[in-house]
């Protein structure tokens, strides 16, 4: 007896031929691999976007802190300039330490 082509094929073979023609000839395994690749890519993009936003927020916070520190540094330098001026030092020496410029009769010259 001669078997026809459909009789020779097992159900598993027919299923394989059907899945081999799924989605423009792509096999089920390759479709699964591509699906997994798409999921991994979506996860990586989401994670990267989240990290980028977090880092940008941190950058803005650090820039604000830098501006505040720069303003504070400028204020401190102005204050230092005010406190170290010769006239200010003379006033503080007179008032706090009771110092005065010596008069001629109070000077003593020492020999070298």
Which tens digit of pLDDT belongs to each residue from 33-85? 999 999 999 999 999 999 999 999 999 999 999 999 999 999 999 999 888 88
| Residue 102 is assigned to a structural domain of this protein | no
Per-residue model confidence (pLDDT) at position 72: 97
| Residue 90 is assigned to a structural domain of this protein | yes
Dihedral angle sign, alpha carbons of residues 11, 14, 20, 23: negative
pLDDT band, residue 108 (cuts 50/70/90): confident
> Domain limits at 89?
22-97
| Residue 16 is assigned to a structural domain of this protein | no
Gap between the Cα atoms of 52 and 45, Å rounded? 10
Per-residue model confidence (pLDDT) at position 52: 98
| Residue 8 is assigned to a structural domain of this protein | no
Number of domains in the chain: 1
| Residue 55 is assigned to a structural domain of this protein | yes
| Residue 12 is assigned to a structural domain of this protein | no
Dihedral angle sign, alpha carbons of residues 58, 61, 65, 66: positive
| Residue 68 is assigned to a structural domain of this protein | yes
Tell me the whole-structure pTM to 2 decimals.
0.52
% of the chain beyond a pLDDT of 70: 78
């Amino acid at each position: 007896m001669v078997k026809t082509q459909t009789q020779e094929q097992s159900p598993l073979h027919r299923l394989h031929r059907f899945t081999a023609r799924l989605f423009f000839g792509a096999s089920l395994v390759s479709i699964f691999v591509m699906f997994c690749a798409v999921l991994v890519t979506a996860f990586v993009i989401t994670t990267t976007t989240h990290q980028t936003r977090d880092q940008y927020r941190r950058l803005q916070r650090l820039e604000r802190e830098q501006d505040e520190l720069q303003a504070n540094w400028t204020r401190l330098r102005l204050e230092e300039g005010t406190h170290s001026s010769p006239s200010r030092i003379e006033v503080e020496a007179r008032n706090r330490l009771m110092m005065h410029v010596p008069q001629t009769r109070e000077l003593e010259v020492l020999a070298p």
